[in-house]
Structure 1
Amino acid sequence: MKRFILFALALFFYLPINSQSEIYEFRVYDMELFRSADILHDYLQKALIPALNRQGVVNVGVFEESGEALPPKIYVLISYKTMQAHQEVFDALALDDQFKKDSEFYNTIEPKEIPYNRYESIFIRSVSGFPNLVKPADDLDFFELRIYESYNEDALRRKVKMFNDSEFDIFKDVGLNTVFFGANISGHQMPCLTYLLAFKNKEEHSQIWSKFGAHPEWQRIIKLKEYDNAMNDITRVFLKPLPYSQL
């Protein structure tokens, strides 16, 4: 059943199957402007993340936007070996007495006290050129989230191929530190890919991207007809990790 799900997803996205691929759940919480976020932070830090860790899910990332973006958002990144593993973990949480105890306050608060309006749960599958999440060094705490939208599935396939064949090597050459990379399975910007980069600060971010733009391999591949119209929109969000983030 697990292999069938991966095969079906690969057909849908015209992307090659990789046995090392991971699944990422990326949650985006739309926070209320005039309510304290402490309830959500306590739930994530003291209930959900410890429970996920007990199930072998490690390096859970929690971020907020850098700057004064309104309305505020909280981002949570959770990695799984497979989609089936995601289902098994959350089935296990339902039977975890410690998790039930730790999340009791969160589960019983009044609706008017919940600090967010809703959250979107986006699922992403890693690609062959970057199959596994990499925890960044401790001094890299300035993050850039990038979402590349394509106008159809084949355009997305070509953009992913561009990364697999060339761009990941350019990233290494110029010093771009990738945390995760994948093609989205679900979300409101489909079809698209999503990735996260880590830097020391905004200055390093600007310096490294300047090197990328001038790299001879980048200058070569952007002229290839194969990659024409592979991407038609970019979303960039700068993030900073919360104190209890494991990334």
Structure 2
Amino acid sequence: MKRRSFVKASVLTGAAASILPLSSMATSAKDTGTQFYELRTYILKNESQQKLVEDYFQNAAIPALNKLGSKNIGVFTELKPDGQTKIYALIPFNSLADFLTVQEKLDKDPVYQEKGAAYLTAPAIEPAYERIESSLLKAFAHMPKMQIPKQSPRIFELRRYEHATESAGKKKLEMFNDAGEIDVFKRLGFNPVFFGETIIGDHRPNLIYMITFDDLDAKAAHWKAFGSDPEWKKISSVPDYSDAKLVTHITSTLLQPLTASQI
């Protein structure tokens, strides 16, 4: 085989190898009903940018994504920001295929393009945001779909658990799914919105989940009950499930929903 042909064949083989797992995952997601989530964090420098992003979701993104099958989109600001708030957006997809094709469909939607023009075509000297940090999450087996809390004044806690290794991350997933940790959250009234394993994103390996409370006092009471719960104590006492082995860092972010938020 000539060198040029060999190189070309090698490149194509490598590309196919990277695409096939995604295709397989997309097919699997359709078969099982497992959702995928895009979690976006908008880094902003001022209130003008905040208004642009908020208006974009309310007038353009949420209606267009709803039309494409992504329901119950959450948009939040920080409850206690350190300076200018970030905006967090949680977008559910019914399959990986839906996620992979959404941008192409939005590009062809004239209403979305018109309603979102201020955001989509913001000039470089006055951008709509500084950066977007984005992660793709796969829903846990024991909670394959988002659950929407009651519509009432409430706060949300977004938690990220980072792991030292992929194997530690898988063990923590086992703890949530098979050992019953998710059931403890539900039984104690944490009203979990989603649990997701980060497939693509920063600080991998990690998992991310969202829970919700009436207020800060309720948050404190729920976590106190969790720590003293007999079933949780039983699960966490298993040597292989100790936090020292599985979790290297926990990030907790308190959020409040925007008016446009469907969560």
TM-score by length of 2: 0.85
How is 1:30-69 mapped onto 2 (pairs within 5 angstroms)?
Answer: 30-33=43-46, 35-69=48-82
Query: CA separation of 1:201/1:24 partners in 2, compared to 1, >3 Å: closer, same or farther?
Result: same
Percent identity of equivalent pairs: 33
> Are residues 1:29 and 2:42 paired?
yes
CA RMSD of aligned residues (A): 2.2
Paired with 1:219 and 1:146, the residues of 2 have a C-alpha distance of: 20
Which residue pairs with 1:238 in the alignment? 254
Paired with 1:29 and 1:39, the residues of 2 have a C-alpha distance of: 11
Matching residue's letter, 2:77: E
Conserved? CA contact 2:49–2:129, under 8 Å = no
Query: CA separation of 1:221/1:7 partners in 2, compared to 1, >3 Å: closer, same or farther?
Result: farther
Extract unaligned runs of 5+ from structure 1.
Answer: 10-17
Paired with 1:115 and 1:207, the residues of 2 have a C-alpha distance of: 39
Q: CA deviation at 1:3?
A: 8.4
Q: Helix, strand or coil: the match of 2:102?
A: helix
Q: Which runs of 4+ in 1 moved over 3 A?
A: 1-4, 6-9, 33-36
TM-score by length of 1: 0.90
Paired with 2:157 and 2:169, the residues of 1 have a C-alpha distance of: 21
Q: CA deviation at 1:34?
A: 6.2
Q: Helix, strand or coil: the match of 1:111?
A: coil
Q: Which has the higher helix share?
A: 2
Which residue pairs with 2:184 in the alignment? 170
Q: How many residues align?
A: 240
Matching residue's letter, 2:235: I
> Are residues 1:127 and 2:125 paired?
no
Q: CA deviation at 1:105?
A: 2.6
Q: Helix, strand or coil: the match of 1:178?
A: coil
Paired with 2:174 and 2:120, the residues of 1 have a C-alpha distance of: 44
Which residue pairs with 1:81 in the alignment? 94
Q: CA deviation at 1:89?
A: 2.3
Q: Helix, strand or coil: the match of 1:79?
A: strand
Conserved? CA contact 2:35–2:144, under 8 Å = yes
Extract unaligned runs of 5+ from structure 2.
Answer: 1-15
- Aligned with 1:92 (options 87, 94, 105): 105
1:23-53 Cα offsets, whole Å, 9 max, x none, are 1000000001464421221111101111111
1:207-239 Cα offsets, whole Å, 9 max, x none, are 111111001111112221121311111000000
Conserved? CA contact 1:140–1:199, under 8 Å = no
1:117-175 Cα offsets, whole Å, 9 max, x none, are 10011100011111100111012520000000110111001111111122112112211
Paired with 2:101 and 2:218, the residues of 1 have a C-alpha distance of: 40
The structure that has the greater radius of gyration is: 2
